[in-house]
Amino acid sequence: MKLHWSPRSPFVRKVMIVAHELGLADRLTTTRTVVGMEQINEALLAENPLNKIPTLVLDDGQVIYDSLTICEYFCDLAGGHLFGTGAARWEVLTRHALANSFLDALILYRSEATRAPAQQSAGLLAAFATKTTAMLNHVSAPPPGRADIGDITLAVALAYLDFRFAHIGWREGRPALAEWYAAFSARPSMIATTAVDG
């Protein structure tokens, strides 16, 4: 299986963490793929018209995207239960949706914050800052030792805050969440997928 990959993408990291958790990482061939909101990758576009990573290409040529769909495919392939079963599935998926939407907002926040000062929208930056605080105030520390798709995505979002928004200092006033994140970050799947700027 070929995975269009980047060492900086939080959505790619989520997929890679799931692959490690399920014992599938060694079955993946990662292909460094550079994309951006204004950067089209012609090779990727031929496989994914959204021009987004992660994109998974199976050995038979079938293409799977986005990150949630790829994670579900990995769970199906490995017989994993990262999505919960029965009524619990909806709670897991709702936590995933919250953390995943948080990641979406952080990507847009960073895009706006890195524009030239004269081109930045003060209103957008203020809205993103408010949403970031609201999200952090809303989530609570998950139970220790659990690692479902909601937990994984929350950990990736907090890691992305450290990676791109270190000035926010999200741990302040949130000791339980900070303690959970520190413990979760020690998982081999998190260590193996640490984001790097390169």
pLDDT at residue 42, as a whole number:
87
Domain ranges in the chain are 2-78, 88-191
CB proximity list for 113: less than 8 A, separation 6 or greater: 120, 125, 128
Write the pLDDT tens digit of every residue in 134-182: 999 999 999 999 999 999 999 999 999 999 999 999 999 999 999 999 9
Write the pLDDT tens digit of every residue in 101-144: 999 999 999 999 999 999 999 999 999 999 999 999 999 999 99
CATH 3.40.30.10 fits 2-78, yes or no: yes
Rounded mean pLDDT, 56-67 = 96
- Greater confidence, 116 or 197? 116
Query: How far lies 121's CA from each of 101, 114, 129, 131, 168, in Å?
Result: 21, 11, 12, 15, 19
pLDDT at residue 29, as a whole number:
96
What residue spans of the chain are helical by DSSP H? Answer: 10-21, 42-45, 67-78, 88-113, 122-138, 149-164, 175-185, 188-191
pLDDT at residue 152, as a whole number:
98
Residues 48 and 56 sit within 8 Å (Cβ to Cβ): no
CB proximity list for 2: less than 8 A, separation 6 or greater: 28, 29, 30, 31, 56, 57
| Beta pairing class for 55-57 and 2-5 | antiparallel
pLDDT at residue 147, as a whole number:
96
Query: How far lies 71's CA from each of 80, 113, 191, in Å?
Result: 10, 30, 18
Percentage of residues in the chain with pLDDT exceeding 90?
Answer: 84
Write the pLDDT tens digit of every residue in 26-39: 999 999 988 877 78
pLDDT at residue 43, as a whole number:
87
Question: Which one of 1.20.1050.10, 3.40.50.300, 3.40.50.10860, 1.20.950.20 gives the CATH number of domain 88-191?
Answer: 1.20.1050.10
pLDDT at residue 198, as a whole number:
62
